Structure 1
Amino acid sequence: MTVEASALETRFLDFHAEGRGRLAARLVEAANGPAAELQLELEQARLTQGENTPPLLVAPSLNLTAEIDTLTREHAARSAILRLTWPEAAVPDVAVLGRHLPDSSPLRLLGGSAASQGQLTFDASGIRGEVTLTGQDIRTGLLDTEVLGTLSLELLLPHASLDGSLLDLSGSRFTLEMDDADEAQRLTTRLLARQARFTHPFGGDGQVPRTQLVLDGSVDRLGFLDRLLPRAHGLTLRGAGQLQADLDLIGHEPSPAAR
């Protein structure tokens, strides 16, 4: 079965996708009986989350496929696998996407527009995938320091639990180029998060967030790391250099094992 329409929309989890496009559905035989495959192709698409919210992204094309290995109602939700892909898209305001990043993330997205491509897979175990962002004049936060510059971000998502209790961004990396009135050349910061695991990242149900980070990179502004130094030492960092950090944050404070 195929349906084409000038206006199609779908809702999954708390997401809402809409646009002009085509819906194709077919039944297939599986080990447990009849199964279904659905494919929704949207043009001039918008993806939002929640009610009356600005769009996460606007895309020339947005593809959503669903695989359901059983049509039994009580098992369909647990067996469904959804895949969302966008070959190219505009993110009108990166701060909307940034709301999904914990405050303890090395990089926070505060404002500006960017180009994006990505793919996400949703199933009963959680969400996984990757999203890229590139843009100029992007406002970002490096811990407590707010900067404006050109951003290239590769956001990897090995796992995010549906209940929000765990977010794993290990493998993510970004490059940020900034103008500086005191420097003839642009300042460039590159960071790779070899490990970036956030447990109860948003502190729901009274849980204390925990952040485990292993970072490598080159940093032109070491001062943004001052917050991670024990206050009793009275130390501050200035200048540029190579960064290696092994951080374990309880709430917003480093544990004694942080390096």
Structure 2
Amino acid sequence: MPFTATVLTMFPEAFPGPLGVSLIGTAWRERGLWSLETVDIRAYSEDRRGFLDDTPAGGGPGQVLKADVVARALDSLQGPPRPLLYMSARGRPLTQARVKDWAKADGITVLCGRFEGVDQRVLDARGFEEVSVGDAVLAGGEAAAMVVIEACVRLIPGVLGSGESLSSESFEDGLLEHPQYTRPRTFEGLDIPEILLSGDHRKMALWRQEQREKTTQERRPDLWAAHLENRPAEPSAKSPRRARSEGSSAGPRPAKS
């Protein structure tokens, strides 16, 4: 079975969106390396009008998706257990390390909230993991779900053309990626850095590493601090040899006969 992304949403028509184009879309539609399915939460409302939300307990603005409706939608799924993810601004931040773990599974099930969110009881009862894609609030979880799914799918072997590009990109070793350039050599008076045209691969590698470190320090001091903490300690200088005892020869020892 290919990696399967299942999305529980009030708006299944929002998918596949960007997941259906370029290499990721081809890997799904033509090559069968992964699959996408959507579940319409509205279909599991037992209200004759199709309502699936209600006012917040204790008062407050907006509406909350009902626990029983979400539970019925989730319980309708077949197949092996998969990581259950709920897209939420209060969730733990999305990281490449977490994406790698999810990509190793048979797939993921993603719940997209709306309004003021989802009744906490169904999140606790079913073991959802709350995930945030950034420190901003969206109108719903669909766009965030696409971010998580794309991040996972692109790690599936064969989806992208070059495995080398995966190993050298941002976050793989705790640093951001270096800047990239291509032809033309000059654009609006700005030149490609000469080091990248030198043909000296060692110097180019050093330059790229320096750029990664500089960019990370400037833009993500949190990542830089973690990188310094996790970086292997540089070997200390060798301690000088113990001085020979007084009266011994300072010259080389004679060879044994």
Q: Specify the structure having the higher radius of gyration (Cα).
A: 2
Q: Same fold (TM over 0.5)?
A: no
- TM-score normalized by structure 1? 0.28
Bigger helix share = 2
